[in-house]
Amino acid sequence: MTEDSDSDEVLARAKRRDPAAVAVLFRELQPLLLRYLRARVDRIVADDIAGEVWAAVAAGIESFQGDGANFRAWLFTIARNRVNDHHRTSGRRRTAPVADVPDAISDDAETLVLDGIAGQDAVDLLRRHLTGDQLEVVLLRVLGDLDTAQVAVLLERPESWVRVTQHRAIQRLTVRLGPVLGRAVDSL
Amino acid sequence: MSVEPVNVPDDALRDAPQAVASLLRAATRPGTPAELAALESVLDAFAAPAAPATVVVTHRRWTRAAIVAAALTFAGASVAAAATGNLPGPVQRAVSDVADRVGIDIPGPDAGSAGGQGDGTDGRENDRGTPARPREVATTLPPGSPLVGTPSVGGPTDSVPPGVVPADQQLRGLCVTWFVSPGGSSLDAPSRAALVAAAAVVEQSVEVFCAELGVTAPPSQPATPSEPTAPTTTTVPTVPTVPTVPAGQGNDQGASSVTGDAGTKVDTPLSR
């Protein structure tokens, strides 16, 4: 949600279950939510969990108190809890199998950038090059728009750990992808 | 509000060179049509907010809401219609049967209007479509329940009228199809979702769930090892726990969760 006044108005209407407002929220947040979930679990499960998240939102939105940023944080909090529930009950590993990542994105980041990399491709690149903790932090910061304190609470880690993990994630991306992405960006 | 790329937090990019920052920003690009395909179903969820299936189903436990959601998804019928006994008779009966076997009261097709509509005290939707008052419901899974243990023989499904496929039988059919292809990819989406939901609410893998219904994977595709059985008694609220902490009022405990029952997560918002 990019404009505070706008987002507050839309959220207020969504709480009254105005379909147009709900659609605005969905169009803005669903892609981010899906990309986060698909980085954590396989795609079919991610789609299922996304549906659960929106069902939870639909059930609770009338009692939600907060602004657009809080709403987004709430959405991602629900999503992460659902992912953790899934991992607990299924015993699966915390990150989605690498095999789920389309081959096309793995070796040709430069081409993707030149062609206009899609949101999911960008997340898949992050997933491919970051550790599990780094990915979680970066996605919650970037997609969830959570600040470091919020991420720390959500991950039950010290805030300093979040900052360090984020810093290392950026360093890792810079080392691994910086040169190729830099060439691509420079050539645009 | 717009659907333009969202603003990536500046401090998240402070250390990032331009190229990496571009990549992170790309992750927030507007959705593709495929990513937005679920819009209609989400709008439907908002249009029927108090129906049981839209209640938060946390931890995929064998809760009242989950049972109803699974059964109704399975039956392909509307949630509100079932909760009020307004499904077509045979479908309502199948849904009712599934719920009855695990101690959940969903009216059958013969329940009629007397008491069939929510009265605001039983956790169901009332006539105006507004949520009923909260109530704690103890959901007890009988050890011999066909959805927990072995398939029923001579159970309630025997009373299903001719022409109606009993719920267990339908589930077995889905199980058979599940094993035809890895991960049940040969099932259509609603059927797959129904089977996964039915298994999830008893916290079993589909393979284990199907095995307990008497359907196992062919030798070339062995079922996965058994997983721990879910607790057989769960007390859940019939309405979702919703965020109550106003923005900026120092929810020091943050978002992680409040433990409801044995690890069930309750979603609360983070303060910013």
Contacts of A30 in chain B (CB under 8 A): 31, 35-36, 38-39, 42
For residue B232, which of B39, B38, B62, B9 has the smallest C-alpha distance?
Answer: B62
Q: Residue A39 CA to chain centroid, in angstroms?
A: 8
ipTM: 0.81
Strands (E), B4-44: none
pTM for this entry: 0.51
B15 touches chain A (CB under 8 A): yes
Within chain B, which residues score under 70 in pLDDT? 1-16, 49-169, 181-184, 190, 197, 199-204, 219-272
Q: What is the DSSP letter of B140?
A: E
B236: which strand partners? B137
Element (H, E) at A24: helix A19-40
Confidence of residue A115 (pLDDT cuts 50, 70, 90): low
Q: What percent of chain A has pLDDT over 90?
A: 50
pLDDT beyond 90 at A19: yes
> How many Å lie between the alpha carbon of A181 and the closest alpha carbon of chain B?
5
Structural domains of chain A sorted by starting position, each given as residue range(s) with its CATH number in brackets? 1-95 (1.10.1740.10), 108-188 (1.10.10.10)
Contacts 24+ apart (CB under 8 A), A173-180: A173/A126, A173/A129, A173/A130, A173/B16, A173/B20, A173/B23, A174/B16, A174/B17, A174/B19, A174/B20, A176/A129, A177/A109, A177/A125, A177/A129, A177/B19, A177/B20, A177/B23, A178/B17, A178/B19, A178/B20, A180/A109, A180/A110
Grouping H, G, I as helix, E, B as strand and the rest as coil, residue B215 is coil
pLDDT digits (tens, 9 = 90+) for A75-105: 999 999 999 989 888 765 554 444 444 433 4
Residues of B in contact with A78 (CB under 8 A): 267
Please report the pLDDT score of residue A28 as a whole number.
93
Q: Indicate the average pLDDT of chain A.
A: 82
Q: Are B12 and A88 a contacting pair at CB < 8 A? A: no
Within 8 A of B178 by CB-CB distance, chain A residues are none
Residue A52: the pLDDT is: 93
* Cβ-defined contact of B205 to A126 (cutoff 8 Å): no
According to DSSP, residue B231 is labeled P
B18 contacts in chain A (CB < 8 Å): 182, 185
* CA dist A64 → A140, B187, B206 (Å): 20, 37, 35
pLDDT at res. A54:
94
From the list B36, B57, B272, which residue is nearest A27 (CB)?
B36
pLDDT of residue A5: 58
> Residues B269, B245: contact at Cβ < 8 Å?
yes
Assess B60–A contact: CB distance below 8 Å, yes or no. Answer: yes
Of all residues in chain A, the one with the smallest CA distance to B229 is A89
Are B8 and A142 a contacting pair, CB within 8 Å?
Answer: yes
Residue positions counted in chain A? 188
Q: What are the φ and ψ backbone dihedral angles of B232, each rounded to 5 degrees?
A: -90, -10
State the maximum Cα–Cα separation within chain A, in Å, rounded to a whole number: 49
Nearest CA in chain A to B208: A90
Identify the pLDDT of residue B170.
Answer: 72
pLDDT of residue B74: 46
Element of type H or E holding B139: strand B136-140
pLDDT digits (tens, 9 = 90+) for A47-79: 999 999 999 999 999 888 888 888 999 999 999
